[in-house]
Amino acid sequence: MARPPASDDDAALRWDDLDDPSYSDPSLAALAPESADDDAAGAGSATAEDAAEGLDAATGVERASDAWSPLVTLLTALASAVYLAYTVGWIIGIGLVPLSGPTLVIEIMYQFSEFLAIIAAPLWFAAVVSLTREGRAAHRFGWLALGMLVLLPWPFVLGLLR
């Protein structure tokens, strides 16, 4: 079998082929003139309802630029402050509960679990924010609320109750 020319070997690694039929850019769709066939079929044009809801006409997915309001940003910042407080709470709480294990292995495992408890809250926040970047705000705040329940610094809370 004959080998294709060398220029085709790298074709799969290029992103500059704008003539590719699978390429679509929503910002360019607004600039393109609509044909009579598209108007008759209703394909490729956004309805007023979709525009009001912030939905992309091609995919039906909520656009990120329309989805995030200043309120969502403020609530995310507030959640980050809570998670920072949880991290400080774990650091203080771990200091309140000293433990020395009978063996070196138990002592190392305990100190590693303390480290994981301290970094769990910032890791949860970073994971939720990065994984829900394109999603709905309700999903983001649902996951953040679940993390606030699960990652509560119990040694700190129980130390205050004594």
Task: Kindly state whether residues 136 and 107 are assigned to the same domain.
Answer: yes
What backbone phi and psi angles, to 5 degrees, belong to 55? -100, 145
The full DSSP string for 35-91 is: PHHHHHHTTT---HHHHHHTB-TTT-PBPHHHH--HHHHHHHHHHHHHHHHHHHHHH
Structure tokens at 60: 């039906």
Task: Mean pLDDT check: name the lowest of 17-26, 44-53, 140-149.
Answer: 44-53
Q: What total number of domains does the chain contain?
A: 2
Q: What is the pLDDT of residue 43?
A: 47
Task: Kindly state whether residues 78 and 139 are assigned to the same domain.
Answer: yes
Model confidence over 86-143: pLDDT tens digits? Answer: 999 999 888 877 777 788 998 899 899 999 999 999 999 999 999 998 888 899 999 9
Residue showing tokens 């940003």: 73
| Domain enclosing residue 56, as ranges | 24-65
Structure pTM? 0.56
Distance CA 149, CA 153 (A): 10
Assigned domain for 156 exists? yes
Q: Which of residues 34, 65, 96 is at a domain's end?
A: 65
Distance CA 104, CA 84 (A): 31
149 or 39, which is more confident: 149
Q: Which of residues 65, 95, 117 is at a domain's end?
A: 65
Distance CA 111, CA 154 (A): 17
